[in-house]
């Protein structure tokens, strides 16, 4: 049994966490102005360097907007946020997404997978497809849901890489945390075997160079997750 090193959060991490919670809870509503750095540092008993670094991170996450000579304001993160914003929302909600958010992610995945599959079928070598199959088969040999979700991401990330489109690979990488959360939920509801079946069926179409069959399978199994018998929406 392996144990991971325990590390304490930094003051900047705690600063970011506190402001994120105030923003996401509505205590600091969109458009509100936050106090100047000096005042925040005094109230929270941290250095201005901590405050400055935290504000920069919150700006990158889409929660704050710094306007020169005007001040720092809570940004309209639902309209102008980015993937980091979505990850922060997930963490705040205990890794839960609203139905519309999950549906949107699955619809984007469907489009990305169709693009990746088409390119891979056209250009990947047999050896590359065999390596992809080896990754898929790892799903059969684990009883850990977290490991299964990690392996599913590894498979799809490799699929994107073999497509030869750098932007596609980077997009997949940016979705890693969210996809793993959703695969974990899928496995909890339907089992690792169901995830393996989805992946290995897709792999079969790749090896047969069956582009239309692969497209139909992507539409089917992601369609089942969106509005069929394998939905992964949170209850309540």
pLDDT, average across residues 107-116: 93
* Shared domain check, 223 and 145: yes
pLDDT confidence band for 236 (50 / 70 / 90): very low
19-23, 97-101, 215-219: least confidently modelled range: 97-101
* Shared domain check, 157 and 78: no
Q: Give me the pLDDT at residue 177, please.
A: 82
* Shared domain check, 111 and 48: no
* Shared domain check, 103 and 217: yes
* Shared domain check, 78 and 103: no
| pLDDT tens column, 1-10 | 556 666 788 9
Rounded (5°) CA angle 201-228-180: 60
CATH number of the domain bearing residue 146: 1.20.120.530
Domain termination site, one of 85, 105, 127: 85
* Number of structural domains the chain divides into: 2
Q: Give me the pLDDT at residue 118, please.
A: 96
Q: Give me the pLDDT at residue 173, please.
A: 86
CA distance 14 to 217: 45
| φ, ψ dihedrals at 229, nearest 5° | -90, 0
Whether residue 33 is predicted with pLDDT greater than 90 in this model: the reply is: yes
* Shared domain check, 196 and 115: yes
Burial tier of 212 (Cβ tally within 10 Å: 0-12, 13-18, 19+) = exposed
Q: Give me the pLDDT at residue 95, please.
A: 57
Whether residue 99 is predicted with pLDDT greater than 60 in this model: the reply is: yes
Strand, helix or coil at 125? coil
Domain of residue 20 covers 11-85
Residue scoring higher pLDDT (97 or 23): 23
* Shared domain check, 142 and 45: no
Q: Take residue 73 and report the two structure tokens written for it.
A: 């304001």
| pLDDT tens column, 136-169 | 999 998 999 999 999 999 999 999 999 999 999 9
Is there a contact between 221 and 204 (Cβ–Cβ < 8 Å)? Answer: no
| φ, ψ dihedrals at 76, nearest 5° | -80, 80
pLDDT confidence band for 235 (50 / 70 / 90): low
Long-range contacts of 144-149 (CB under 8 A, 24+ apart): 145/184, 145/187, 145/188, 145/192, 146/180, 146/184, 148/183, 148/187, 148/192, 148/195, 148/196, 149/179, 149/180, 149/181, 149/183, 149/184, 149/187
* Shared domain check, 152 and 66: no
Residue 236, domain member (yes or no): no
Per this entry, what is the length of the chain? 236
| pLDDT tens column, 74-97 | 999 988 888 788 778 777 766 566
* Shared domain check, 214 and 143: yes
Whether residue 105 is predicted with pLDDT greater than 80 in this model: the reply is: yes
| pLDDT tens column, 175-231 | 888 889 889 999 999 999 999 999 999 999 999 999 999 999 999 999 999 888 888
pLDDT, average across residues 51-55: 96
């Amino acid at each position: 049994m392996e144990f991971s090193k325990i590390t304490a959060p930094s003051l900047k991490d705690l600063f970011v966490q506190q402001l994120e919670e105030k923003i996401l809870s509505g205590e600091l509503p969109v458009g509100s102005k936050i106090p100047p750095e000096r005042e925040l540092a005094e109230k929270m008993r941290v250095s201005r360097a901590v405050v400055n670094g935290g504000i920069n991170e919150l700006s990158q996450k889409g929660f704050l907007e710094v306007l020169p000579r005007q001040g720092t304001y809570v940004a309209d993160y639902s309209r102008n946020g980015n993937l980091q914003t979505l990850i922060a929302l997930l963490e705040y909600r205990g890794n839960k997404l609203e139905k519309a958010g999950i549906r949107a992610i699955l619809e984007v995945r469907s489009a990305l997978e169709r693009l990746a599959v088409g390119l891979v079928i056209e250009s990947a070598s047999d050896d590359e497809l065999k390596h992809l199959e080896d990754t898929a088969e790892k799903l059969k040999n684990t009883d850990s849901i977290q490991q299964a979700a990690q392996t599913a991401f590894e498979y799809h990330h490799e699929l994107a890489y073999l497509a030869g489109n750098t932007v596609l690979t980077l997009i997949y990488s940016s979705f890693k945390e969210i996809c793993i959360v959703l695969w974990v939920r899928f496995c909890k509801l339907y089992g690792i075997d169901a995830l393996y079946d989805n992946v290995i069926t897709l792999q079969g179409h790749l090896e047969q160079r069956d582009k239309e069959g692969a497209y139909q399978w992507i539409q089917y199994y992601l369609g089942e997750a969106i509005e069929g018998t394998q939905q992964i929406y949170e209850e309540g």
